[in-house]
Structure 1
Amino acid sequence: MSECKPLATPAAVTQSATPSTDEFENPTQYRRLVGALQYLTITRPDLSYAVNRLCQFMHMPTDEHWGLLKRVLRYVKGTQGYGLCITPSSSTDIHAYSDSDWAECPIDRKSTSGYAVYLGTNLVSWLSRKQRTVARSSIEAEYKGLADVSAEVTWIVSLLRELGLHSGKSATLWCDNLGATYLAANPVFHARTKHVEIDYHFVRDKVASGDFVVSFVCTKDQIADVFTKPLPAPRFQALRDKLNVVSQPP
């Protein structure tokens, strides 16, 4: 596909009305290419959502999944010179963005979570992953996403303390769901969240101890949006810039 026409985004916003269920004739080739794209996500966080979705069909890819894979390759073709940019930063404060797309998967209705963790102005950790259990509300899906990023930030803080580089300030977690931010600060179990697994509630302990501050951010400023769903080209490109994925000089 070296001569293919480039595309502006790795995933289409619209889905096929009649998706193909025919098994792809060469699943080994599919797996080999997806594995290569997984390696590429080490320096290309903008590919995380699309590649994560492709990985979910490794066991039995269909012709439709092969089409989705070729779309990612067409996007890579047009952005071969892009990569994650790391620059000197005067700040060592940690702030992270967490987002979830509730019941996004049409097959099992599990939600997709994503986060982006910044050390100063640099992106140092990111994730796009389907949640392990089905969320019964958008608040629960967002709260589970907060739990994932809380675990990651806890590890980063521990590492920085060992290196003597931690600023001592509380990490700020940004979430675009008011219900989830209230739940993180409220020690009372609400009726509609009684079923949430206990291990997710360590977010509250971190907030109560002052390690984290969970704050609301409006959806248009939610950087982790790029890890949870396909986006239109202007929105995708704006968030890609905020991830510090930029065109590198030759």
Structure 2
Amino acid sequence: MHAPDASHFLLFKRILRYVKATLHLDLLLLPSPNMSIQAFSDADWASSSSDRRSTGGYAVYLGPNLISWQSKKQRTVARSSTESEYKALANCSADISWLTSLNPVCHDRTKHIEIDFHFVHEKVARKELQIQFISTKDQIADLLTKPLSSSRFAFFWDKLRPCSRSPSACEGSIR
């Protein structure tokens, strides 16, 4: 912000075009007896060319409904892709913990990967969290962490269940 150049202006224009093109979209919430929480997390290791910090992101669903998401540059430089993935997973786990307890305690861990590892390990040991490999072709969190082709973006965007604001488009949904 202190020394913007032409590339910053181009990115700003791109963001404004995106916001303008999506103003008509809402988040679709459907009534469902399914109250299970499912989450997807991912990280794009060392993706920032200016400081080599990773971008982490996650999407959390309650039944079929997206209820929480984040895409954020990580606060520290990860020395491996595994470390950046653990940081993203720890942030996702903290959000799930908060959502399940509705106790707004900050669990942001940035000192070292060991803290993230132990945080996640504890959740797995207590059976509060189940870790599964998700193939890149099904990784919804890629939408939040990676540049995607138009077709992959559209595929994952649809998985977020966006809904047009037109009255008939989202009948029976909660906005």
Q: Which amino acid aligns with 1:98?
A: S
Q: Deviations over 1:46-90 (max 9, x none)?
A: xxxxxxxxxxxx444322211111122223333332121112111
Cα distance in 2, alignment partners of residues 95 and 76 from structure 1:
27
Question: What are the equivalent positions in structure 2 for 1:136-147 lying under 5 Å apart?
Answer: 136-147=79-90
- Aligned length, in residue pairs: 159
The alpha-carbon distance between structure 1 residues 59 and 93, as it changes in their structure 2 partners (threshold 3 A), is: farther
1:128–1:227 contact (8 Å) kept in structure 2: yes
SS in structure 1 of the partner of residue 141 of structure 2: helix
1:247 corresponding residue in structure 2: 164
TM-score for both structures, normalised by structure 1: 0.60
> Alpha-carbon deviation of 1:229?
1.7
Aligned: 1:205 with 2:140: no
Cα distance in 2, alignment partners of residues 100 and 222 from structure 1:
11
1:147–1:201 contact (8 Å) kept in structure 2: no
TM-score for both structures, normalised by structure 2: 0.84
Q: Which amino acid aligns with 1:107?
A: S
- Residue segments in structure 1 that go unaligned for 5+ positions in a row: 1-57, 161-194
Cα distance in 2, alignment partners of residues 136 and 79 from structure 1:
36
Q: Deviations over 1:113-157 (max 9, x none)?
A: 000000111111100111111111111111111101010000111
Cα distance in 2, alignment partners of residues 125 and 97 from structure 1:
11
Aligned: 1:69 with 2:15: no
> Alpha-carbon deviation of 1:200?
4.1
2:86–2:116 contact (8 Å) kept in structure 1: no
Aligned: 1:122 with 2:65: yes
Q: Which amino acid aligns with 2:154?
A: Q
Q: Deviations over 1:193-232 (max 9, x none)?
A: xx73324421001101111111111111000001112211
The alpha-carbon distance between structure 1 residues 60 and 205, as it changes in their structure 2 partners (threshold 3 A), is: same
Cα distance in 1, alignment partners of residues 139 and 39 from structure 2:
10
Q: Which amino acid aligns with 1:211?
A: E
CA RMSD of aligned residues (A): 1.7
Kindly name which structure, 1 or 2, has the bigger radius of gyration based on alpha carbons.
Answer: 1
Cα distance in 2, alignment partners of residues 242 and 108 from structure 1:
31
